[in-house]
Amino acid sequence: MTGKELRQKYLDFFKEKGHAIISGFSLIPENDPTVLFTTAGMHPLVPYLLGADHPAGTRLADYQRCIRTGDIDSVGDPSHLTFFEMLGNWSLGDYFKEEAIKMSYEFLTSPKWLGIDPARLSVTVFAGDDDVPRDEESAAIWESLGIPKERIYFMSREHNWWGPAGQTGPCGPDTEMFLDTGKEACGPECKPGCHCGKYFEVWNDVFMQYNKKADGTFEPLSRKCVDTGMGLERTTAMLQGKRSVYETEFFTPIINAIEKRTGVTYGQEEEKDISIRIISDHIKAATFILGDERGVSPSNVGQGYILRRLIRRAIRHARKLGVTGNFISTPAEVVIEMYKEYYPLLEEKKSFILEELTAEENKFLKTLQKGEQEFEKLLPNLLKSTQKIIPGRIAFKLYDTYGFPIEITEELASEHGLSVDKEGFDKAFEKHQQLSKQGSEKTFKGGLADHSEETTKLHTATHLLHKALRMVLGEHVQQKGSNITAERLRFDFSHPDKMTPEQIKQVEDIVNQKIKEDLPVTMEVMTLDEAKKRGAMAFFADKYDEKVKVYSIGDFSMEVCGGPHVEHTGVLGLFKIQKEQSSSAGVRRIRAVLISENKDA
């Protein structure tokens, strides 16, 4: 079965089961300070899982592009990916465990759908602990479907529990489905979740049935939800009997382009295979980030930093394969061609994507040149040393300060009869990784964004800000990203030039005037097509018959959005722009606050 067929079968199956097929969302989350990228299909649906009404109803399904950056340095092996697609279905207070599990089983085993032999299926369920009882209900449902007790494994919270995202909130047990690959067990303790390769995880059903309270206790939720996820690439590889996702059609056209350009054949030498896999994955991820509706450019902060890191790691590995000069636009063009049917924005933004990739490649080649110059400066003292070893801290400084790859440091060292303290470099790098992981990726454990009174006010203010910016700067202004905490809003928008103090004052005055007018904030549900015909701003959805929520602020602003919002603008207080700066090429960033009327302005 091809990946295209799997994607369509999934949607067809859940459509038959009464699910509305909704658009996937941007890779760059809106108003969520917990994470840089959309990391799972449920991430954009958090407000609805928390209780908001979804315009399409209580049964939903989609395919969602995702990026996970916590394992960037693991990409290169046969399984890790930065970019992937997630198939998902949701029940928002509709069906629960029995129907969800029965639907999962039917889709996996029915000859009409995937036709997997039930004898290959093993499942895990939550074993229970001092806080929450054992999930006997899910186990009984699986047993009723014919899964024998010996293939139903009760696992700990570490394996079969989801959430809450923070200290409190919705959470619950999950049940995971595994297929036996036919490999020999690694030992008597081998079971689903073991890393030996015998069991392949294919699907996960999460049952959000509890609310964790501040005192650490768990109370049942009155509105129970189901969230499921199936990785498109990994499941396709399994269905095709492939050893790796890189052997499927999600990667073979990209790999073929790299082979043609480099003269290196994939599958002959593991070290070169690693480089080819890294280039394939990273350029695909970079292409999707650049080609997103809220796409960013390479920079030294946030999403732009991750994008830069992906591009530069791909370039380093292209050099390892003998590439000189510009290269990465070649695999990027293949990615655009492969995915444009499902993500037409990639084709629309093709020129921008290729220009940005080439510009970053040129910058990095200059960086490498600078690193080589720095190495030459260090060389006389290094050669004087009797040990003839470059300390790990110096190698890491070249990497960290100048972006100089360790492999190139080792090459240059070898040319001068020196070696590199790789162990010392690895220790410094590991420390850097830990700090980077904590600081930039942050931890998304479901990503329940804060929907407090303060963030609700600030979110509403972004609508006023967006409209005011278009009035002052022009209709080319589009939201490119938003990050809201309880203290402030950060709003990224397309605009080529630094705003003047006069323009900033104009925008502030417009927003504050609309707050003073105490305009009502109303919501209507309509199709995306109708919303656009009525003049609503919408920069993300692509299914024109899809139902969306449209928020109007008096006659001033109309925008497609998922919320949350205040009921009238008078409660917002005084709007103040604290800073306006560049975010990346062609994108500006505003930081602003709302000051309560009982505070000094």
**Which helix (H) or strand (E) covers residue 337, if one does?**
helix 329-339
The answer as to whether 379 is a domain residue is no
Q: What is the pLDDT of residue 268?
A: 94
Same domain (yes/no): 306, 338: yes
pLDDT at 31 over 60: no
How far apart, in whole angstroms, are the C-alpha atoms of residue 274 and residue 70? 18
Same domain (yes/no): 197, 215: yes
Q: Give the total number of structural domains in the chain.
A: 4
Q: What is the pLDDT of residue 540?
A: 58
Same domain (yes/no): 326, 348: yes
The answer as to whether 470 is a domain residue is yes
> Both tokens of residue 427?
């220790």
Q: What is the pLDDT of residue 574?
A: 95
End residue of a domain, out of 445, 463, 486: 445
List pLDDT tens digits, range 271-289: 999 999 999 999 999 999 9
Same domain (yes/no): 302, 156: no
List pLDDT tens digits, range 366-381: 888 888 888 889 899 8
CATH number reported for the structural domain that contains residue 502 in this entry: 3.30.980.10
**Which helix (H) or strand (E) covers residue 153, if one does?**
strand 152-155
How far apart, in whole angstroms, are the C-alpha atoms of residue 287 and residue 82? 12
Of 206-215, 297-306, 538-547, where does the model show the most confidence?
206-215
How far apart, in whole angstroms, are the C-alpha atoms of residue 533 and residue 542? 14
Helix, strand or coil, per DSSP, at residue 149: helix
What would the mean pLDDT of 64-71 be, rounded to a whole number?
88
Q: What is the pLDDT of residue 414?
A: 85
CB atoms within 10 A of CB 525: 14
According to the 3-state scheme, what is the secondary structure of 537-563?
A: ECCCCCCCCCEEEEEEECCCEEEECCC
Q: What is the pLDDT of residue 164?
A: 78
Contact 242, 248 (CB under 8 A): yes
Same domain (yes/no): 426, 353: no
The answer as to whether 160 is a domain residue is yes
How far apart, in whole angstroms, are the C-alpha atoms of residue 404 and residue 362? 15
Nearest of 354, 593, 356 to residue 490 by alpha carbon: 593
Cross-strand partners of 155: 126
Better-scored residue on pLDDT, 69 or 269: 269
The answer as to whether 257 is a domain residue is yes
pLDDT at 302 over 90: no
CATH number reported for the structural domain that contains residue 115 in this entry: 3.30.930.10
Q: Are strands 152-155 and 161-162 parallel, antiparallel or unpaired?
A: unpaired
How far apart, in whole angstroms, are the C-alpha atoms of residue 595 and residue 601? 7
Same domain (yes/no): 352, 466: no
282 annotated as belonging to a binding site for a ligand: no
What would the mean pLDDT of 457-472 be, rounded to a whole number?
94
End residue of a domain, out of 242, 269, 297: 242
Q: What is the pLDDT of residue 440?
A: 43
Same domain (yes/no): 441, 520: no
pLDDT at 329 over 90: yes
Nearest of 111, 153, 161, 110 to residue 133 by alpha carbon: 161
Residue type for 335, please? V
Contact 152, 117 (CB under 8 A): no
Q: What is the pLDDT of residue 544?
A: 56
> Both tokens of residue 95?
């069906």
Range of the domain at 563: 453-595
Mean pLDDT, the chain, rounded, equals 89
Same domain (yes/no): 237, 196: yes
What would the mean pLDDT of 527-545 be, rounded to a whole number?
76
Same domain (yes/no): 60, 148: yes
In the chain, the percentage of residues whose pLDDT exceeds 90 is: 59
End residue of a domain, out of 221, 242, 263: 242
Place of tokens 């499927």: 248
Contact 61, 543 (CB under 8 A): no
Contact 254, 335 (CB under 8 A): yes
Q: What is the pLDDT of residue 166?
A: 59
Same domain (yes/no): 555, 584: yes
The answer as to whether 466 is a domain residue is yes
State the Rg of the chain over Cα. 26
Going by pLDDT thresholds of 50, 70 and 90, the confidence category of residue 539 is: low
Cis peptide before 564 (omega within 30 of 0): yes
The answer as to whether 232 is a domain residue is yes
> Both tokens of residue 595?
């000051």
Nearest of 229, 233, 291 to residue 4 by alpha carbon: 233
List pLDDT tens digits, range 143-173: 999 999 999 999 999 999 988 755 777 889 9
How far apart, in whole angstroms, are the C-alpha atoms of residue 479 and residue 495? 10
List pLDDT tens digits, range 468-525: 999 999 999 988 877 787 789 989 899 999 999 999 999 999 999 999 999 999 999 9
With a CB cutoff of 8 Å and minimum separation 6, the contacts of 202 are 108, 177, 178, 179, 230, 234, 235, 238
Helix, strand, coil share of the chain (percent; to 5): 40, 20, 35
pTM exceeds 0.75: yes
The answer as to whether 29 is a domain residue is yes
459 annotated as belonging to a binding site for a ligand: yes
Dihedral over Cα of 39, 40, 45, 51: its sign: negative
Same domain (yes/no): 232, 87: yes
User: What are phi and psi for residue 55, nearest 5 degrees?
Assistant: -60, -25
Please provide the DSSP assignment of 424-481 as one string: HHHHHHHHHHHHHIIIII---SS------HHHHHHHHHHHHHHHHHHHHH-TT--EEE
The answer as to whether 376 is a domain residue is no
Burial class, 27, CB count within 10 angstroms (exposed 0-12 / middle 13-18 / buried 19+): buried
Same domain (yes/no): 473, 402: no
Q: What is the pLDDT of residue 580?
A: 95
List pLDDT tens digits, range 423-458: 999 888 888 766 655 544 443 333 334 567 888 899
- Range name among 181-185, 208-212, 430-434 with the lowest pLDDT average: 430-434
Nearest of 573, 25, 576 to residue 294 by alpha carbon: 25
List pLDDT tens digits, range 545-579: 678 889 999 999 999 887 778 999 999 999 999 99
pLDDT at 106 over 90: yes
